[in-house]
Chains A and B, each alone.
Chain A
Amino acid sequence: MTDVVSTASRPGRRATSDVVRRLPEYLMIWVPLLLSAAHLISFSLWTIWISFTPSTLIPVSGWVGLRNYNSVLASRNWQIAFDNLLLFGSAFVLLSLIAGLLLAILLDQRIRGENVLRSIFLYPLAVSFVVTGTVWSWLLNPGIGIQKLVHDLGWTSFRFDWLIDRDMAIWTIVIAAIWQSSGFAMALFLAGLRSVDGDIIKAAQIDGAGPVRTYWRVILPTLWPITITVVVVQLQFAISAFDLVRALTNGGPGIATQLPALVVYDLMFQRGQLGRGAAAAVLMLLILLAVLLPYAAWRYVQRRQATHA
């Protein structure tokens, strides 16, 4: 019964036996949470520490300052990966926002078969990037995919060989990524559209606003908090994209579709440059923080405004 009273009145032995009695409870609460928290903190610090050591094939102690960072940042591999990330990240996020919003608006028109359609737009998210990357690598391969099909149909001058084109290959990743995850943007936008107050829409219609105008002026402005969430989640995906690229282009042709996550893997496990690999991983984390910290600040402000209102 009332633990508080009994421990307070007789602190000594009673308190110890209470701790023993409740030991399974403490273990059950603390062991998983502590393991999780400890691995997050210690692994992060560990990787950061390795990034300042001269480690190559095995982790060694020692201090080389920013040498690993400098050599990663100076490498062509990283520079291409970073440029690709900027292009891939912005194109993918922007286009999947547009696609997701368009799909959500279309599905919001009280159409028949909405459930089936929604399932179709979302199923790619249930499949692994390895599978979808492999499938897209077949479709986009000029020798066996879409280009070959069109050639066989008679249009022999047709060209769709982005997969083997150094300048265009990054767009194949954009295509596959949009196909796979625009359904996510759609799901969030659709939930947002459904929660728009019906009275506002009616008021706009009574004022004589047409459908386009009502969407543009009345409904879409209410969606911007969702938009920010979608952007942040998709950026988070873009920054750590690995599986999809590995299966679709494996960074090629050459290193034309290199991305930061591939550079990290390459340095750590293929070139045996643990120090540089760790530095590249920390750089990835910094890019991620550049996205997440402003978002966290924005969320904090939003919440404070909500509680003060």
Chain B
Amino acid sequence: MRDRSFVPSRILIYLSVSLIAVAYLAPLVVVVLNSLRTNEEIAQGSMIGWPQHLAWSNYAKAWSGFCVAETCAGIRPYMLNSALVTIPATIFSTLLGAVAGYAVSLWRFRGDNWIYGIVTLGLFLPQQMRLLPWTIVLRDTGLINTLTGLVLIHTIQGLSFTTLFCRNYYIAIPHELIRAARIDGAGFFRIFWRIILPLSAPILIVTVIWQFTHIWNEFLYGVTFTTGQQQPVTAALIALSAAIADIPQHGVQSAAVIIAALPTLLIYLLGGRYFVRGLTAGAVK
């Protein structure tokens, strides 16, 4: 319980918490260590082991050396693809979601509850229900196998989350503030720019972190709508492990995995508090 008097139970608590923490960290530690071991060293033993000498060359190979299918450019082009999809889609969906959240919570207009209700259904609708229509739409607009197509998808689909996050945050802003500004003659954009946006920093950080993490980590759309050189890094990782299944290169693969996971891990380390807030906000709906 919540008193510190009983020492043995405290020791037990610390012991179990530490053991569980080790279990949670173990996969990460194993991959980091592997990324510094040579492929031969791993092949002789197992994936779990201490590097005999640090093979930094794994990272160079993973970044720009190894081959997927015919191209030998490492993971770099796919990292670039992921960045070129994730950054614009995060910015667009967050900004549009902020405006939409403000419109349905504070500005109010006829039908706002209805449209908001429908938009939030997007939180629940499985991706599988949209796969075929997106395929057809992208093909007919010539956006299949382009990064632009993925940006479009993630912007439109992200709106369900970003609108919800912002709306739930803005709903706490006193309506009198908006009413007074309207009486003073301020319009939709002016109120957004002068009143809403300056109050929005916390929720915009939550939303940006949420969107960035989700779009960067997304796999199904990436693998369905793009091929070869256009794929985001998640899809490329799967292609990579299929491509080198015959001659395992676990050291290089581990380095590639670390590189691919690094952007979202860094964001988590820097903004963990906001990340958790997004998780719980997304759950409570």
Contact = CB atoms under 8 A, between A and B. Distances in A.
Contacts of A211: 1, 9
B100 A123 contact: no
Interface stretch (B39-47, B51-59, B169-177, B194-202): B39-47
Nearest to B114: A37
B81 to A, nearest CB: 14
Interface in B29-73: 30-31, 34, 42, 45-49
B275 interface: yes
B277 to A, nearest CB: 10
A211 to B, nearest CB: 3
Interface in B5-49: 9-10, 13-14, 16-17, 20-21, 23-25, 27-28, 30-31, 34, 42, 45-49
B211 interface: no
Q: State the main secondary structure of chain B at its contact with A.
A: helix
A118 to B, nearest CB: 8
B181 interface: no
Interface in A43-70: 43-44, 46-47, 50, 59
Interface string A257-288: 00001001100110000100110111011001
A138 B279 contact: no
A242 B238 CA distance: 13
A214 B269 CA distance: 35
B267 A126 contact: yes
A15 interface: no
Interface stretch (A86-94, A163-171, A184-192): A184-192
A125 B276 CA distance: 10
B133 to A, nearest CB: 4
A33 B24 contact: no
A40 B280 CA distance: 24
Interface residues of B, number: 91
A284 B213 CA distance: 25
A139 B1 contact: no
A103 interface: yes
A34 B115 contact: yes
Interface string A123-137: 111111111101110
A210 B96 CA distance: 53
B117 to A, nearest CB: 9
Nearest to A115: B272
Contacts, number: 257
A44 B126 CA distance: 10
A32 B134 contact: no
Contacts of A242: 127, 219-220
Nearest to A39: B156
B126 A285 contact: yes
Contacts of B284: 229
B115 A37 contact: yes
A201 interface: yes
B154 interface: no
A41 B31 contact: no
A126 B275 contact: yes
B128 A284 contact: yes
Interface string A112-124: 0000010111111
A106 B188 contact: no
Nearest to A106: B17
A230 to B, nearest CB: 8
B99 A28 contact: yes
B1 A130 contact: no
Contacts of B276: 122, 187
Q: State the main secondary structure of chain A at its contact with B.
A: helix
B237 A130 contact: yes
Given A28-B99, A132-B27, A145-B46, A109 B2 contact: yes
Given A144-B46, A152-B45, A268-B131, A281 B126 contact: yes
Q: Which of B20, B121, B124, B183 has the most CB of A within 10 A?
A: B124
Given A127-B217, A261-B128, A43 B24 contact: no
A25 B115 contact: no
Contacts of A47: 129-133
B91 interface: no
A131 B261 contact: yes
Contacts of B127: 240, 242
Interface string B225-237: 0000000001101
14 contacts: A37-B115, A43-B129, A110-B4, A120-B24, A122-B275, A127-B217, A130-B260, A144-B250, A179-B23, A211-B1, A243-B219, A264-B131, A284-B129, A285-B129
Given A134-B237, A134-B241, A285-B128, 8 more contacts: A44-B125, A117-B21, A120-B25, A128-B217, A152-B45, A236-B124, A242-B219, A265-B128
Interface of A: 1-2, 22, 24-25, 28-29, 32-37, 39-44, 46-47, 50, 59, 103, 106-111, 117, 119-132, 134-136, 138-139, 141, 144-146, 148-149, 152, 179, 183-184, 187-188, 191, 201, 205, 210-211, 214-215, 229-230, 233, 236, 239-240, 242-243, 246-247, 261, 264-265, 268-269, 274, 277-278, 280-282, 284-285, 288, 292
The list of the 9 closest CB pairs from A to B, nearest first, reads A128-B217, A211-B1, A126-B268, A148-B46, A43-B133, A281-B128, A37-B118, A25-B188, A243-B219
